[in-house]
Amino acid sequence: MGEKKFKAFISYAHADEEWGAWLQRSLERYRPPPELARRGGAASAARLAPVFRDREDLPVAGNLSDAIRSALADSEFQIVLCSPSAARSRWVNDEIRHFQKLNGPGRTFALIIAGEPGASFIPRREDEECFPPALRFELDADRNLTNVPAEPLAADARKTGDGKRYAFLKIAAGMLGVGLDDLIRRDAQRRTRIATATAIASTAGAAVLAFAAVAAFTARNEARAMRAEAEGLIEFMLGDLRDKLEPVGKLAILEAVADRATAYYEGQNPKSLDDAALARRAQAMIQLGAIDFARNDLDAAQRAFEDAEARTAALLKKAPNDPERVFNYAQSVFYLGQNSLALGDIAEGERRYRDYLRLAEQLVKTDGTNPKWRLELAYATSNLGSVKYYAGDYDAAIAYFSDSIEARRALMEAAPGDRKIASDYAYALSWRAFAELARGSYATAIDLIREQLGVYGADAAMTSEDYKTLDVVVTAHRRLAEANLGLGAVDEARKANNDARAIVEKLVRREPDNANWAVNASHIYRTQCYLASLAGDKAASAAAARQADASAKAACRHRPCEEWMIYARALALGARLSSPIDDADAASAAADLEKLMPDLRKSATIDGAATFAAASLALARHKRRFAGAEDSIELSRDAAAVVAPKADLLPAMARIRLAALHLESGEPAKASRIISDLEARGVAHPELAAMKRRLGAPDWTAGR
């Protein structure tokens, strides 16, 4: 197979990190009997090192996906730690598939550490399954899952199985290519020799035990004092210091704080950590996950949040009625729900958020006067509103958001000087405004956004150094521009978008790696492109379109593009098609957009359907200019057929684009029905006016 950098790659869920550390230490410290190593036939078999274990060998700030793929390619064997956590981990499953794609199944070893093999096939015991799907089912030639059950062979480290040492030797024998019986016999002989030598040495050492005991007592007291001081610093770093650093807006600084905390706990013996230390470690993992989420490294965020969930769940199990432990567990559940929605898994996001609501209700039941618990319930209510929003049920979403607003308003009035509660109230206003925009209730959205910005006060100004607040303020101005455009108030829209642009450029200069800010910038430049085209400034419109595209590409610069980033790129390319620099620029943008269309067409999300409609419309108009009406009609009719079944779920702006697709495809009656419905809601977007002019022409096809 050629020389490999690593002897083995350990795949595991981070809830099983202690097992991963044990296995890595055991493999790297193990010295096989020389004659057996030679019998295995490989010089490299003389040692089972080095071993790759990602939490040990990778900096948290690195591109984990690329580094892991590289390490898998450079590992001779793969060892999968099998447990219920591993069975649920998408990450572990992908590592198995990728390794076997490179090396085939014969070099992957399974080590059962918890759970039950085959439990997924037993009703009501599915959660006990320990094998990931890639071990549970056969893989085809492309290493994709089939429906054919597999029968994986595994070493069983459970007390009811092989036991820890015997299971380890099974893995070692497989890696060395030697007989298990020989290895066990040699291992027993070696351990007997060590035990004998230890017994002899212990007699000679008895004389110094008294002195050692005194020294150990003194050292232990000093160590306890040092640990107390260190953990006090960790608590400050993860609490007060984090609250002070978040407004600064530097992910690298926040990451350094969490990374130092994590490194401290990784350097401790897990058995020596008390419950408070374990809770702080979980808090550090949540902070790391939140940073990964901001950078759009959703796989890394998922792993960190799963790690935090496992630790907080274990602590809650010890004291199920402890409100602080319920709260800490609820935080990990919330972040997993948020990450699921970002990954496009709305069902899993809703399941997590409903669990979060249950935990928040448990907290309020414990102490209904505690503002912290009441705020958690307000968060949970708003979260379910976001799920309804992404499902296209805007009326239900608004009901949830309204309840959350009223709960936060009461808390804000009870604590008029509390900036955090005021900020939380403003954020709830922003979510309802977002849903009102989707419903086409633009005037209501404008009122809500203005109230939101008023709550922030000076923190919302361009000169503010509170980057945490500016993060939401820039989105508020962008949506204010969208709402004013929806009412046909072009000058107001231009003013709001200019404010958004000034702030987002400040944010991006501050933190170029922040994917959220890069995508926000892309949307703002795209609106600038449209506003410039309305003013007849073709050069400014083309320049803004290029900026929108560059910002969308920048969001993917250090990571694989997720769906929502692809949506931003597609919309930016559509802007380039509407305002090209020249024919070559238009052709280049069209070619790039065509590559994205198959994935957009298959998207199951509402945002995906809305983006597909906008991208199809841009391509159809491009074809009308360069290929003729026939190609434009065919593309428009096909796109409308894909989007129309979701028409009732689409945001208002997407419905405008659907109407335009109907008009492009030669179906004016369908376009008229949508236009009439939107006008009845008070929508007066310039696009509606343009379509009405075409429909009112003596020969409406003249403008086609």
What residue ranges do the domains of the chain occupy?
6-178, 239-344, 606-704
pLDDT confidence of residue 279: 81
Distance between CA atoms of residues 390 and 603, nearest Å = 13
pLDDT confidence of residue 703: 38
CATH match for 6-178 among 3.40.50.10140, 3.40.50.150, 3.40.50.620, 3.40.50.1000: 3.40.50.10140
Helical segments of 457-582, H only: 467-486, 490-510, 515-534, 538-555, 563-578
Element of type H or E holding 328: helix 323-342
| Per-residue CA distances from 118 to 88, 108, 137, 147, 251 (Å) | 14, 18, 11, 14, 42
Q: Are 298 and 292 in contact (CB under 8 A)?
A: yes
Q: What is the dihedral of CA 381, 386, 388, 392, to 10 degrees?
A: 160
Distance between CA atoms of residues 76 and 176, nearest Å = 11
| Closest alpha carbon to 502 in 474, 475, 523, 482 | 474
| Per-residue CA distances from 277 to 191, 202, 230, 311, 425 (Å) | 35, 35, 11, 11, 32
pLDDT confidence of residue 500: 97
Query: How confident is the prediction for the chain on average, in pLDDT?
Result: 82
pTM, whole model, 2 decimals? 0.60
pLDDT confidence of residue 596: 94
DSSP class per residue in 451-492: HHHHHHGGGGSTT---HHHHHHHHHHHHHHHHHHHHTT-HHH
pLDDT confidence of residue 61: 39
Per-residue tokens: 124 = 């009501």
Amino acid, res. 290: A
C-beta atoms surrounding 153 within 10 Å: 10
Distance between CA atoms of residues 85 and 608, nearest Å = 31
Peptide bond into 50 cis (omega under 30): yes
Pairing of strands 154-156, 108-112: parallel
- Decide if domain 239-344 falls under CATH 3.40.50: no
531-538: long-range pairs with CB below 8 Å, 24+: 531/490, 531/493, 531/494, 531/497, 532/579, 533/578, 533/579, 534/490, 534/686, 538/579
Amino acid, res. 349: G
C-beta atoms surrounding 194 within 10 Å: 10
Rounded to the nearest 10 degrees, what angle do helices 490-510 and 515-534 cross at? 150
Query: Residues of the chain whose pLDDT is less than 50?
Result: 40-45, 56-63, 188-251, 698-704
pLDDT 10s digits, 400-423: 999 999 999 999 999 888 888 999
